[in-house]
Amino acid sequence: MGIRGGHLLDLESLTAEEIISILDAARSFREVIDRDIKKVPTLRGITVVNLFYEPSTRTRISFELAEKRLSADSLSFSSVTSSVQKGESLKDTIQNIEAMRTDMVVLRHSSPGAANFLTRCCDSKVINAGDGAHEHPTQGLLDIFTMRERYGRVKDLRVLIVGDIKHSRVARSNIWGLKKLGAQVAICGPSTLLPYEIEKTGVEVFSNLDKALEGVDVVNILRIQRERQDAGYFPTLREYTLLYGIDATRLKRLNPGFTIMHPGPMNRGVEITVDVAESSDSVILEQVTNGVAVRMAVLYLLMAKEPIADKEGVLTP
């Protein structure tokens, strides 16, 4: 099964079956990136433009690597070194790039809905690499992939997302994806950093971290997103760390075999202590590795015209 609509804009509009097909394909690509020769000819002849209007380390390099591993031609655009600085609009930018015969675009932008807007002003297949506080679907997918590989399932996993939920596109994509696959999702943070009516998505809401951590399998820790905050949401960082920082003492409340996750970038000593970030229960760098495989799967499925795997699960590009 491919991805309906020819774009990946969010996880809210995907079905559980579509999410599973991406996770299954990512498992095959994860095997590819562990080989000595980490490359397949799958997207030979396809040109992908990485259009980044916001800073990024992981997502940008991960997409570039995924494109190169699939033998696509990969171009990178940064708004700060482009004619955006001379006033060129997003629409004019993509239409000029597409006039050079490109096929796919990966967009990171500070405005919610920017990726959706792009689908209406170009013919390329569009992948949302994070649009404001709306969604970051490939981050959600790689987080869910990491949980599924570790536990062999997502259904009934107890997942807690801690931190600045209000400004987090990662939290939204995790919530949509995890709920569709049957996980039990809870969120925790200062009440000022919890979105209005978030409980309508079916998540359990906590403001007391120690209560929230009881019986949890996976903790996904978010940073404070100062670049998207327009007001003081808590008195001091020190107070935030005392109430919502994850340290080794707090981990005792979790279920045996628990997992620590963080989408990055981390603010060590604020939302997570150094020893927790670097502990054997942390899969933070594993998430980054899995991100390349998940993005390969998304790029492939968006271009695929046929089912991607035979009965034995072997990729047939």
Residues that bind ligand CP (CB under 6 A): 56-60, 130, 136, 139, 263-265
State the nearest-atom distance from the C-beta of 17 to ligand CP, in Å.
Answer: 26
Q: Min. distance of Cβ 44 from ligand CP in angstroms?
A: 26
The DSSP code for 173 is H
- Distance of alpha carbon 71 from alpha carbon 315, whole angstroms: 15
Phi/psi at 282 (nearest 5 deg)?
A: -90, 135
| Residue 21 vs 168, nearer CB to ligand CP | 168
In the complex, least distance from residue 1 CB atom to ligand CP, rounded to whole angstroms: 26
Residue 236, SS3 per DSSP = coil
Cβ atoms of 180 and 16 within 8 Å: the answer is yes
Write down the least CB distance from residue 61 to ligand CP, Å.
8
At closest approach, how far in Å is the CB of 315 from ligand CP?
A: 26
Using the minimum distance from each CB to ligand CP, give the nearer residue, 5 or 264: 264
**Cβ distance to ligand CP smaller for residue 56 or 229:** 56
Q: Which is nearer to ligand CP, 139 or 259 (CB)?
A: 139
Q: How many residues does the chain have?
A: 317
CA quadruple 164, 166, 167, 169: dihedral sign: positive
Maximum pairwise Cα distance, the chain: 57
Identity of residue 227: E
Q: Which is nearer to ligand CP, 60 or 250 (CB)?
A: 60
How far, in Å, CA of 210 to CA of 226, rounded? 24
Query: Least separation, in Å, of the C-beta of 69 and ligand CP?
Result: 18
Least Cβ distance, residue 142 to ligand CP (angstroms): 9
CB nearer to ligand CP: pick between 7 and 262: 262
In the structure encoding, which two tokens stand for residue 282, read together? Answer: 């942390």
Of 205 and 288, CB closest to ligand CP? 288
Beta strand 104-109 with 125-131: parallel, antiparallel or unpaired?
A: parallel
DSSP string, 42-104: TTTT-EEEEEESS--SHHHHHHHHHHHHTT-EEEEEEGGGSGGGGT--HHHHHHHHHTT---E
